[in-house]
Amino acid sequence: MTPVELSRQADTDLEDILDYSIAAHGRGTAEAYLRGIDAAFSRLSQYPELGSPRPDLKEGLRSLPYGEHRIYYRYDGMAVLVARVLHKATDTERHL
């Protein structure tokens, strides 16, 4: 399996998602949503090229949708580096 590493920004994104989700939907729903994102990371560990290439945003960048969010990452042949986890309505170009 390929190691999955989170950038500092991705880690902050996950904290923000959890905080927002707890406030909007309750702790149980928020924690379930984050477990789903974690499961998506596990799929990337098994299939690192699963996401769609996104050369329109940055060379080598890929994205994988999960719920209302998109996981943006790079795969260098050795590891998956998750750059950001952004809401699908986010101005992606501004945040990558």
Mean pLDDT of the chain: 97
pLDDT at 51: 97
pLDDT tens readout for residues 44-80: 999 999 999 999 999 999 999 999 999 999 999 999 9
> What is the rounded distance in angstroms from the CA atom of residue 61 to the CA atom of residue 46?
18
pLDDT at 37: 98
- CA torsion angle for 26, 81, 64, 77 (degrees, to 10)? -150
Task: Return all residues near 87 (Cβ < 8 A) that are at least 6 apart.
Answer: 68, 69, 70
User: Which CATH number is 4-90's, of 3.30.2310.20, 3.40.50.2300, 3.30.2130.10, 3.90.105.10?
Assistant: 3.30.2310.20
* pTM of the entire predicted model: 0.95
The region, left, alpha or beta by phi > 0 then psi within -120 to 50, assigned to residue 26 is: left
